Chain A
Amino acid sequence: MSADESPVRLVIPAQARFLRLARLTAAGIAGDLGFGLEAIEDLRVAVDEAAAILIEGAGTDAEIELVYRGTEAGLVIEGSCENPGAEPEIHPVARELLTMTADDYSVYSTGDVISFRLLKRREVSSG
C-alpha cells in the first residue's frame, strides 16, 4: 500500500476476540508502508486500545468498522462503532498507552456512534 492507494476497510464484530484482526491488519499495512518493527508493535497496541474503547458495552450484534489509510504523514486508522450510550471516556491506563504508541489520537462520539482516529507517523531516523 502506498500513500495514494485506496484505504483498506475492515468490519468485524464488536467483540474483544476479533480485535486480533484489527491488529494484524494494522501490522500488515504498516509493514507494507515501510514502517519499522517497533513502530508496527506500537501500532498494534494503539489500535487494540482504541478499538477496545469503542466496543465496551456494545451490543452482541454490533460491529466495528476500521479504515486504514496510508498518507504522506503516515498511517491513519479510523474506527467507528454504533454503541448507544457509550461515552468517549478513556481510562488513564489506556490513555497512557495511546499516548505512548500513537503520534496523535482522538476518541469522540456522534449520536449513537463512537469513533476514534489515530495517526502513526512514518519514522524519522534518529541517527
Chain B
Amino acid sequence: MSRDDPRDPPVAEWFVEYRRTGDRRLRNQLVEHHRHVADYFVRRYSRRGVPADDLRQLALLAIIHAVERFDPEMGVAFSTFASRTIDGELKRYFRDRTWSVRPPRRAQELHLELRRTDEELTHRLRRAPTIAELAAALDVSEDHVLEALEAGTAHQATSLDQPSPGDDDGAPRGERLLSTTDVGFVGVDQQMVVRDLLAELPERERTIVYLRFFENLTQPEIAERVGVSQSYLSRILRRALLDMKDRLGE
C-alpha cells in the first residue's frame, strides 16, 4: 500500500506543515492522498453485515484520526501507522457490536472518573491538572472532559446521557474514533510496529501494552481486566512504553 514513487507529492512536508499549523486544507489533502488505505480496510471488512456507508464513515474518520496523530519524525511510514489505526478502530467497532459488553462512557459516568482522576493528578502534580492532562489520563478527548464537567453540574441529565431509540447502548462513534489520543504517548504509540520490543517486556507489561495498542482497550478497561488501579496501570504503561522507546534508540 505504500506510495514511494519520487513523482509523488511531498507528503512528508505536508505532515510537518500540518503539525505546525493544523491547517484543515492540508489535513484534507493528506486524507485524500492516503484514502486508498481506508478503502482497503472498507473492502476487507465489507462482508461483516455493516452497511457500506457506515463502514466508509468509520474508515474515513479513522484515517482522519491517524492523520491528526501522525508524527513523521518518528520514522514510521504513515501507511503503516494509518493501517494500524484504521484496523484497530474497525476491529474495536466490530468487537463492540458483537460482544455488547462495552462499558458505555456516558458523560455522567465519565464525570465520576474525572473527579477521581483530578484528585490523583492534583496529588501527583501538586497542582491542578489541565484539561489536556485530564483528557490524556482518562484516554478521552478534551471535548469529552468538558462535557463530563457539564454533566456533573447539570441539574438534570440531558439526553446526552440517555440511550436513544435504536442506540446499541455503546459509546458513540466519534468518541471512539476521534477521542482516543493518548496525548503523552503519541510518539510511542507510533512505534508499536516494533513487535520485537514488545516481546522483551515482562509478561504483565506486555499484556498491558498489547491490550492498549493492539486491542485498543481504554486504560480503565485494562485496569479492570488486569486487576490494578487505573493510576497504577497508567504508571506501568508509561514505564513499559518508555522502556520500549529507550531500547528502540539503542
Interface residues, chain A, with chain B CB atoms under 8 Å away: 16, 20, 23-24, 27-28, 30-42, 44-45, 52, 56, 91-94, 96-97, 100-101, 123, 125-127
Contact = CB atoms under 8 A, between A and B. Distances in A.
B140 to A, nearest CB: 13
B31 interface: yes
B160 A27 contact: yes
12 contacts: A16-B24, A27-B160, A31-B161, A33-B159, A34-B164, A37-B163, A37-B172, A41-B172, A91-B29, A92-B32, A93-B60, A96-B60
Nearest to A57: B25
Interface residues of B, number: 35
Given A45-B178, A101-B57, 5 more contacts: A38-B172, A41-B174, A41-B175, A91-B32, A93-B35
A93 B160 contact: no
B164 A36 contact: yes
Contact of A28 (B29, B64, B150, B163): B150
Contacts of B147: 24, 27
B43 interface: no
B159 A23 contact: no
A100 B56 contact: yes
* Residue from A20, A30, A35, A45 having most chain B Cβ neighbours under 10 A: A45
A101 B57 CA distance: 9
B166 interface: yes
Contacts of B164: 34-37, 39, 123
* Residue from B60, B158, B171 having most chain A Cβ neighbours under 10 A: B158
B74 to A, nearest CB: 24
B28 interface: yes
Nearest to A32: B158
Contacts of A93: 27-28, 31-32, 35, 60, 64
Contacts of B173: 38, 41
B158 A94 contact: no
A30 B61 CA distance: 21
Given A20-B143, A36-B167, A100-B53, A45 B174 contact: yes
Given A31-B160, A36-B166, A91 B174 contact: no
B159 A24 contact: no
